[in-house]
């Protein structure tokens, strides 16, 4: 194996909660069986190529701070190959079963479409070769249709149909590559699908374009027999103030409008939820209630800042509540937990990147284990089902089955002389119960 900045690190192993070794898993025991399946198959952790291999710590006020030696490895293809060598060593160190990429993360873009695709194919061949010697698989592929200046006015929503065609060609190739590499999902995040100013924007036209584009993606998926899920990733505010894929509810109604709700599911990101004025658990529960939960982008935002800081997660409370909803929705598979998270610009050593993923994986694992226990314990569920118990009566069920109209209900209410009484929502009791369970050492 080629020598990389990650090669000297031992593969991080599960050592249990008592371990003082900072580069060990204390909660993430990949083989621990929960609800009949090993933890690794529930969580399906993935490394995000862009944040872990490409990002070098630049921000609007300063350039790169994080040395990534593959960027000095020769011509652009040599750099991309050196980067891939390091990537697979990082996956090996973390013992993560999956990774995710954008086309532009794995292969250098060029001036023409033909050359860009040529580079991409060279690198897909190379990744395929790497995947023969490593066990890490592809959770999802996606296209970067937002960084290059040609996308400044949008990708599929661009006023220029040639940009739309460029995007179609790119996504076609990314879908082909995802299928070839055995990917479980294909993601579309609408990077610049939104507008800077309404003054130059035909919103109706742009939404029609976006709907047509997604429909073409779904049609092509079926044409090539790609069995993975197509996922849309909601995000508000960034980079444009008005993003069309604002949140789960907005994306779902868009899917309904274009009859795609049975074809496309959602990739939900914690930081995006926060930016939309929601919590991660709210977005997951919303998707679950619509049968639209697909996969998760794991990270956290800074509530004091208004942008996508993409930090590694550390909020056990929110992650546990989120995992309760995930488990109740039937789990994530074929989705997974992709660490769409980056280290801070002062965290420039390879070790920082490993610490970041180890902590994130442990947090998710602990949250998942606790969530499974809370569900098994049943007390929380009992409180909730008691709260809705009235709906189990045959009279109440008749409302749902459409057998009662407004005027019939009026008659029923008057005949029964109903007088509904307030009942406690028991919120503090529930919170106390969850504090005990979430912060318990016995997991």
Does 54 bind ligand XLS (CB under 6 A)? Our answer is: no
Nearer Cβ to ligand XLS (14/312): 312
Measure the CA–CA gap between 82 and 76, rounded to whole angstroms.
Answer: 10
Work out what residue 311 binds among ligand XLS, Ni ion, none; the CB cut-off runs from 5 to 8 Å by kind.
Answer: none
> Of 83, 235, 357, 366, which lies in the binding site for ligand XLS, with binding defined by CB under 6 A?
235
Window 85 to 114, contacts with ligand XLS (CB under 6 A): 102
> Of 89, 206, 247, 308, which lies in the binding site for ligand XLS, with binding defined by CB under 6 A?
308
Does 105 bind Ni ion (CB under 5 A)? Our answer is: no
* Site track for ligand XLS across 200-229, x = CB under 6 A: ------------------------------
* Site track for ligand XLS across 127-156, x = CB under 6 A: ---------------x--------------
**C-beta of 3: minimal distance to ligand XLS in Å?**
29
Work out what residue 245 binds among ligand XLS, Ni ion, none; the CB cut-off runs from 5 to 8 Å by kind.
Answer: none
Nearer Cβ to Ni ion (206/340): 340
**C-beta of 14: minimal distance to Ni ion in Å?**
27
Residue of minimal Cβ distance to ligand XLS: 189
Choices 26-34, 200-208, 294-302, 320-328 (CB under 5 A): range interacting with Ni ion: 294-302
HEC string of the chain?
CCCCCCCCCCCCCECCCCCCCCCCECCCCCCCEECCEEHHHHHCEEEEHHHHHHCCCCECCECCCCCCHHHHCCCHHHHHHHHHHHHHHHHHHHCCCEEEEEHHHHCCCCCCHHHHHHHHHHHHHHHHHHHHHCCCEEEEEECCCCCCHHHCCCCCCCCCHHHHHHHHHHHHHHHHHHHHCCCCEEEEECCCCEECCHHHCCHHHHHHHHHHHHHHHHHHHHHHCCCCEEEEECCCCCCCCEECCCCHHHHHHHHHHCCCCCCEEEEEEHHHHHHCCCCHHHHHHHHHHCCCEEEEECCECCCCCCCCCCECCCCHHHHHHHHHHHHHCCCCCCCCEEECCCCCCCCCCHHHHHHHHHHHHHHHHHHHHHHHHHHHHCHHHHHHHHHCHHHHCHHHHHHHCCCCCHHHHHHHHHHHCCCCCCCCCCHHHHHHHHHHHHCCCCC
> Of 233, 247, 281, 283, which lies in the binding site for ligand XLS, with binding defined by CB under 6 A?
233
- For 348, the token pair is 């420039």
Residue 421 Cα distances to 118, 283, 387, 414, 424, angstroms: 70, 32, 13, 16, 10
Nearer Cβ to Ni ion (12/274): 274
Measure the CA–CA gap between 113 and 116, rounded to whole angstroms.
Answer: 5
Window 229 to 288, contacts with Ni ion (CB under 5 A): 269
> Of 308, 311, 323, 343, which lies in the binding site for Ni ion, with binding defined by CB under 5 A?
308
* Site track for Ni ion across 330-359, x = CB under 5 A: ----------x-------------------
Size of the site for ligand XLS (CB under 6 A): 10
Choices 16-24, 86-94, 190-198, 289-297 (CB under 5 A): range interacting with Ni ion: 289-297
Measure the CA–CA gap between 321 and 334, rounded to whole angstroms.
Answer: 21
Strand-pairing partners, residue 295, are 267
Work out what residue 206 binds among Ni ion, ligand XLS, none; the CB cut-off runs from 5 to 8 Å by kind.
Answer: none
Residue 439 Cα distances to 27, 360, 363, 380, angstroms: 13, 17, 12, 16
* Site track for ligand XLS across 261-280, x = CB under 6 A: --------x-----------
User: So which residues are the catalytic ones?
Assistant: 102, 105
Contact 323, 373 (CB under 8 A): no
Nearer Cβ to Ni ion (245/340): 340
Nearer Cβ to Ni ion (82/174): 174
Nearer Cβ to Ni ion (95/340): 340
Nearer Cβ to ligand XLS (81/102): 102
Does 189 bind ligand XLS (CB under 6 A)? Our answer is: yes
Work out what residue 142 binds among ligand XLS, Ni ion, none; the CB cut-off runs from 5 to 8 Å by kind.
Answer: ligand XLS
Nearer Cβ to ligand XLS (91/186): 186
> Of 89, 105, 297, 362, which lies in the binding site for ligand XLS, with binding defined by CB under 6 A?
297
Q: Are strands 229-233 and 264-269 parallel, antiparallel or unpaired?
A: parallel
Contact 335, 44 (CB under 8 A): yes
Window 318 to 377, contacts with ligand XLS (CB under 6 A): 340
Q: Which residues make up the interface to ligand XLS (CB under 6 A)?
A: 102, 142, 187, 189, 233, 235, 269, 297, 308, 340
Q: Which residues make up the interface to Ni ion (CB under 5 A)?
A: 269, 297, 308, 340
């Amino acid at each position: 194996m080629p020598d990389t900045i990650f090669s000297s690190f031992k593969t991080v192993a599960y050592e249990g909660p008592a371990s003082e070794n900072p580069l060990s898993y204390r909660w993430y025991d990949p083989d621990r069986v929960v609800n009949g399946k090993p933890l690794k198959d529930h969580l399906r952790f993935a490394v995000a190529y862009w944040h872990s291999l490409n990002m070098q710590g630049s921000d609007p006020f300063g350039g790169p701070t994080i040395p990534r030696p593959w960027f000095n490895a020769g011509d652009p293809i040599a750099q991309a190959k050196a980067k891939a060598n390091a990537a697979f060593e990082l996956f090996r160190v973390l013992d993560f079963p999956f990774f995710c990429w954008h086309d532009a993360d794995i292969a250098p873009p060029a001036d023409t479409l033909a050359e860009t695709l040529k580079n991409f194919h060279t690198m897909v061949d190379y990744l395929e070769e790497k995947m023969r010697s490593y066990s890490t698989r592809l959770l999802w592929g996606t296209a970067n249709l937002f960084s290059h200046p040609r996308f400044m006015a949008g990708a599929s929503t661009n006023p220029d149909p040639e940009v739309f065609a460029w995007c179609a060609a790119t996504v076609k190739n990314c879908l082909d590559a995802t299928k070839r590499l055995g990917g479980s999902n294909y993601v579309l995040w609408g990077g610049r699908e939104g507008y800077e100013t309404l003054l130059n924007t035909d919103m109706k036209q742009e939404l029609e374009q976006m709907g047509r584009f997604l429909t073409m993606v779904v049609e092509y998926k079926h044409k090539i027999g790609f069995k993975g899920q197509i996922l849309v990733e909601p995000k508000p505010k960034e980079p444009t103030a008005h993003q069309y894929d604002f949140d789960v509810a907005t994306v779902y109604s868009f899917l309904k409008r274009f009859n795609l709700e049975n074809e496309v599911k959602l990739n939900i990101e914690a930081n995006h939820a926060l930016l939309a004025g929601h919590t991660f658990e709210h977005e997951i529960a919303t998707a679950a209630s619509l049968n639209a939960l697909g996969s998760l982008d794991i990270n956290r935002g800074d509530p004091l800042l208004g942008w996508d800081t993409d930090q590694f997660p550390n909020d056990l409370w929110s992650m546990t509540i989120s995992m309760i909803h995930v488990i109740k929705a039937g789990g994530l598979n074929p989705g997974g937990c992709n660490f769409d998270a980056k280290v801070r610009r002062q965290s420039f050593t390879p070790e920082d990147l490993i610490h970041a993923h180890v902590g994130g994986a442990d947090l998710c694992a602990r949250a998942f284990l606790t969530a499974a226990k809370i569900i098994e314990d049943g007390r929380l569920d009992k409180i909730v089902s008691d709260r809705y118990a009235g709906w189990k009566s045959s009279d109440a069920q008749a409302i749902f089955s459409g057998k009662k109209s407004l005027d019939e209900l009026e008659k029923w209410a008057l005949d029964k002389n109903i007088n509904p009484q307030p009942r406690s929502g028991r919120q503090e009791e529930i919170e106390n119960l969850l504090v005990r369970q979430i912060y318990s050492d016995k997991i």
